[in-house]
């Protein structure tokens, strides 16, 4: 028996540090692109994927990793922010990945944070994912509160792409990217749980001590709850979780106390 929920279907990898985690994640993405050059790739922002994006850029430069047919869909975007705003996820993605590789602009999809007809726009975003054949590989980070995308803990979770209110804890966590907490948008557009869960493969990354509590909770509770949106991932049939030692710390302590695990190094 494995020591974590979903253990039969989840692959858990623990790397020494952020650099190794990033290399491992980039390798998984690169292999998927090599296998399917027109991969539909779901992408995330925040601190966690930054190392992965750096590694992918290296592979583009040194190993001719070809993004020319890759189609991307980003998880989320702040609401009421223009695409060229330096705090937008559109800006982040171009700065940290897209402008350094040979992806075609028309193959990049990031929710627009400043549209008027938001409901129609969200529907169109989901439709476009479907039209492209669905997401082949979705890269995810996890919030300290267990959010994925901007699906925040709640009594109910939205299934489709939607406009959502950010929780106080997310606003506080993201304030580090802004001049002051007052500047952090309080709403965002995000892919919903079903849009994420419909991805053929999911790659969840967590790095650092500040993620160790949520990772422990996620991997040791044998339950799915809307209070930890990431727990839905445990029901996915093709989930890979990559942690660094800091993020895995509490979980490993629990495992040492007796439960057997299936950690792959
Ligand atoms: C970002 C996103 C968020 C982040 C999460 C973790 O597109 O969807 O769910 O993945 O907030 O953020 P970091 O990596 O900054 O700890």
pLDDT, one tens digit per residue, over 227-246 is 999 999 999 999 999 999 99
Q: Which domain holds residue 181?
A: 7-202+213-243
Instruction: Return the ligand 1 atom nearest residue 148 CA.
Output: 9
E strand intervals along the chain = 10-15, 40-43, 71-74, 76-78, 108-109, 137-140, 162-165, 187-190, 201-206, 239-244
pLDDT class for 1, splitting at 50, 70, 90? very low
Cβ within 8 Å of residue 115, ≥6 positions away: 121
Provide the CB-side half-sphere exposure for 227 (13 A, CA): 4
Does ligand 1 have an atom closer than 6 angstroms to the CB of 81? no
Rounded to an integer, the average pLDDT of 180-189 is 94
Please tell me the residue having the least CA distance from ligand 1 atom 11: 143
Our answer to whether residue 136 is catalytic in this structure is no
State the distance from the centre of ligand 1 to the C-alpha of 60, rounded, in angstroms: 24
Annotation marks residue 147 as catalytic: yes
Residue 251 lies in a domain: no
Query: What number does the ligand 1 atom closest to the CA of 74 have?
Result: 7
Structure confidence at residue 265 (pLDDT): 47
Q: Name the residue with the closest Cα to ligand 1, atom 1.
A: 45
Nearest to 80 by CA among 181, 226, 189: 189
Count the helix, strand and coil residues of the chain and give each as a percent rounded to the nearest 5. 40, 20, 40
Q: Is residue 65 part of a domain?
A: yes
| Active-site residue, from 96, 114, 145, 213 | 145
The span from the CA of 226 to the CA of 223, in Å, is 10
Count structural domains, the chain: 1
Flag whether 207 is in a domain: no
Question: Is residue 261 assigned to a domain?
Answer: no
Domain annotation covers residue 97 = yes
81 alpha-carbon distance from chain centroid: 21
Distance CA 243, CA 256 (A): 17
Q: Which of 55, 77, 152, 216 is catalytic?
A: 152
pLDDT at 66: 98
Backbone phi, then psi, for 109, in 5-degree steps? -125, 120
Ligand 1 contact, 44 CB (< 6 A): yes
pLDDT at position 8 is 55
Mean pLDDT of 166-191: 94
Three-state DSSP state, 214: helix
Please indicate, yes or no, if residue 255 is contained in any of the structural domains: no
Per-residue model confidence as pLDDT tens digits over 51-79: 999 999 999 999 999 999 999 999 999 99
Residue 7: band (very low, low, confident or very high) from pLDDT cuts 50, 70, 90: very low
141 lines ligand 1 (CB under 6 A): yes
**Average pLDDT score over residue span 89-113:** 97
Query: How far apart, in Å, are the Cα atoms of 163 and each of 40, 78, 153, 170?
Result: 23, 9, 15, 15
- Angle among Cα 43, 45, 48 to the nearest 5 degrees reads 105
Mean pLDDT within 182-188: 94
259 inside domain: no
The CATH number for 230's domain is 3.40.50.1360
Q: CB-side exposure of 195: number of CA atoms within 13 Å?
A: 34
For residue 142, what pLDDT band results from cuts at 50, 70 and 90?
very high
């Amino acid at each position: 028996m494995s020591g974590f929920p979903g253990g039969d279907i989840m692959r858990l990898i623990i790397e020494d540090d952020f650099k190794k985690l990033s290399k491992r994640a980039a390798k998984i993405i690169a292999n998927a692109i090599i296998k399917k050059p027109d991969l539909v790739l779901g992408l995330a922002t925040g601190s966690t994927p930054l190392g992965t994006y750096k590694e992918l850029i290296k592979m583009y430069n040194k190993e001719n990793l070809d993004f020319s047919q890759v189609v991307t869909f980003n998880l989320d975007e702040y609401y009421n922010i223009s695409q060229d705003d330096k705090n937008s996820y559109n800006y982040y993605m171009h700065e940290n990945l897209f402008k350094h590789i040979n992806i075609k602009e028309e193959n990049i999809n990031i929710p627009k944070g400043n549209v008027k007809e938001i409901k129609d726009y969200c529907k169109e975003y989901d439709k476009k994912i479907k039209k492209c054949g669905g997401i082949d590989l979705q890269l995810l980070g996890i919030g300290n509160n267990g959010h994925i995308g901007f699906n925040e803990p709640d009594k109910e979770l939205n299934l489709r792409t939607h406009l959502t209110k950010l929780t106080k804890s997310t606003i506080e966590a993201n304030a580090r990217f802004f001049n002051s907490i007052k500047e952090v948008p309080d709403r965002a557009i995000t892919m919903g749980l079903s849009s994420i869960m419909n991805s053929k493969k999911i790659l969840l990354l967590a790095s650092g001590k500040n993620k160790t509590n949520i990772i422990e909770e996620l991997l040791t509770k044998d339950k799915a709850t809307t209070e930890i949106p990431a727990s839905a991932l445990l029901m996915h049939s093709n989930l890979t979780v990559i942690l660094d030692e800091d993020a895995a710390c509490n979980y490993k302590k629990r495992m040492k106390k007796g439960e057997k695990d299936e950690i792959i190094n």
